[in-house]
Chain A
Amino acid sequence: MSEAEIESSKTNPSTFLSDIIGSSVTVKLHNGVEYSGNLQSIDGYMNIVLDEGKEVVGNTISRTYGDVFIRGNNVLYISEA
């Protein structure tokens, strides 16, 4: 890959975040619990708001929520569902 191609295929964290707003995501926390839902909002601290949030412990959905606010310090990763 040429340098220009690499440059254009780069996705920095801030670009990624603006790309995935409104889409369905999975958020994993440091305690191992996962939340999936529609990403309403995220900021530079990785504070996250999901709607139709589902709490997944292990592989089973344990609870569902209308809206979920997740404080950023708990977030291990956020991925496209």
Chain B
Amino acid sequence: MSESTGQASEEAVPATVLPLEIIDKSIGNEITVLMINDKEFTGKLVGFDDYVNMVLENVTERDNEGTSTIVRKKMLLNGGHVAMIIPAN
């Protein structure tokens, strides 16, 4: 009896997935980062930390005046103003 309930509760509780684990799955892939001030950055995610500061490669910057022609080879983006992270298509 006690054995079976123990097993049942193990199955019922889903494994918790932390938000940062989701970001970790995007490492190596193209992402778009939306900032809180209507800016966005698109590039390959190569790393991040607990503050969601991100290291990105081949980054293009976009704001309400259009897309920048400059492609940044590698950058560290401050996580303080990040609103959303979206896998690029």
Interface residues of A (CB under 8 A from B): 1, 6, 9-17, 26, 30, 46, 73, 75-80
Q: Is the CB of A6 within 8 A of B28?
A: yes
Say whether chain A's binding surface is mostly helix, strand, loop, or mixed. Answer: mixed
- B47, B53, B78: residue with the most chain A Cβ atoms closer than 10 Å: B78
B20 to chain A, nearest CB (A): 12
Say whether chain B's binding surface is mostly helix, strand, loop, or mixed. Answer: strand
Residues of B56-81 at the interface with A, using a CB-CB cut-off of 8 Å, are 59, 72-78, 80-81
Contact of B81 among A11, A16, A30, A78 (CB under 8 A): A30
Q: Is the CB of B28 within 8 A of A78?
A: no
Considering the chains assembled together, what is the distance between the CA atoms of A51 and B72 in angstroms? 21
What residue of chain B has the Cβ atom nearest to residue A14's Cβ? Answer: B49
Residues of A within 8 A of B77 (CB): 76-77
Q: Is the CB of A6 within 8 A of B27?
A: yes
> Is B54 an interface residue when CB atoms closer than 8 A count as contact?
yes
What residue of chain A has the Cβ atom nearest to residue B49's Cβ? Answer: A13
Q: Is the CB of B27 within 8 A of A80?
A: no
A49 to chain B, nearest CB (A): 16
B31 to chain A, nearest CB (A): 14
Residues of B within 8 A of A11 (CB): 46-47, 55, 74
